[in-house]
Amino acid sequence: MSHEAARSFNDSDTVSIQPGHDQGLSNHQMRLCRLDHHQSPSVVRDQVLPASPRWTTLVVRSLICAVILVGVGCGQQTGPREYTEEEAQAQRDELLKAYPVPPPDTPEQIREKEAKVEETLPQVYKLLEEAKTDPTKIDEVVELSMSLLTLVPGHRAAKVAYGKALMASFFANEATDPYKGAIAINSAVLEIDRLRKNFDDLTEDELQLCQEVYFNQARREGYFPHGEDAPDTFKEAIEKLISSGFRDAERLKTEPKFQYFFNDPKTAPVLQSAIAQIEASAEE
């Protein structure tokens, strides 16, 4: 089983992919990947304002990189094409002129975008409730929550809402569409990692979300325990789980997807150590 990189903004993570599921992404999968592959922000039926200038900047930089790659050569060529520094700079200037980088948001624009996020968040949670009985709502809530985070990338409540939407997507697809499930859980891990990095005063609800994301990242590896990177991904997930305050040793012992890892010499010490740590803290 292969493992491919799944990127989100400026980070990277490893995604386990079941053979037979790597022949291309559906529209839904492309929407889920949009934050994870430096692509344009999602469009959500006039519910949010235009995306931040950082996305335009990213496009311009990508185009400039493309020009540089063409200049130095990539792929098969009949002969080398050398560009002088003056020619390369002229092409960069031409691209910047065609796609000018907009100025940073003004304080008023920032407040306007934040207000839009706050106004739309209740709709995200309404869709999450509806998705519990109507799985067709899951794509919609993922797209909506992702668009809010694209609008204001550092918005704390938007990160939480996006994480919860991704978990709903993971639970809906983990058994029936492993590839889509992998995209959802790995995207959730990246966003939760940022949440923990950016805020050191997490609420009980936020901590529970962190633990649920990490537990299910480890649990997902139980679907493909023979994967090349499964031991490392599992170990990292368990370590993050414990560091986020998880204290349910019984859940670790009884999770069916962990049974293989209890018998694998590469991963058994990880689980045993985590359980011992939890039980020792409970006795103190």
pLDDT digits over 131-183, tens only? 999 999 999 999 999 999 999 999 999 999 999 999 999 999 998 999 999 99
Query: What is the dihedral angle through the alpha carbons of 181, 183, 148, 37, rounded to the nearest 10 degrees?
Result: -170
Backbone angles phi, psi at 269, to 5 degrees: -60, -30
- For residue 224, the 8-state DSSP code is S
Q: Quote the pLDDT of residue 96.
A: 82
Average pLDDT, whole number, for the chain?
A: 80
Burial class (CB in 10 A: 0-12, 13-18, 19+), 22: exposed
Q: Quote the pLDDT of residue 76.
A: 53
Question: CB of 264 within 8 A of CB of 225?
Answer: yes
Q: Quote the pLDDT of residue 173.
A: 95
The band of 44, judged by pLDDT with boundaries at 50, 70 and 90, is very low
The band of 62, judged by pLDDT with boundaries at 50, 70 and 90, is low
Q: Quote the pLDDT of residue 145.
A: 97
Q: Quote the pLDDT of residue 27.
A: 46
- pTM exceeds 0.85, yes or no: no
Question: CB of 153 within 8 A of CB of 190?
Answer: no
Collapsing DSSP to helix, strand or coil, 254 comes out as helix
Q: Quote the pLDDT of residue 3.
A: 35
Domain borders along the chain are: 53-98
Amino acid at 132: K
Q: What is the pLDDT of residues 97-137, one digit of tens each?
A: 888 877 888 999 999 999 999 999 999 999 999 999 999 99
Q: Directed axis angle between helix 178-198 and helix 204-221, to 10°?
A: 140
The band of 260, judged by pLDDT with boundaries at 50, 70 and 90, is very high
Start-to-end C-alpha separation, the chain: 43
For residue 10, pLDDT over 70 is answered with no
Q: Quote the pLDDT of residue 101.
A: 78
Distances in whole angstroms, Cα of residue 84 to Cα of each of 92, 94, 95, 259: 13, 15, 17, 61
For residue 227, pLDDT over 60 is answered with yes
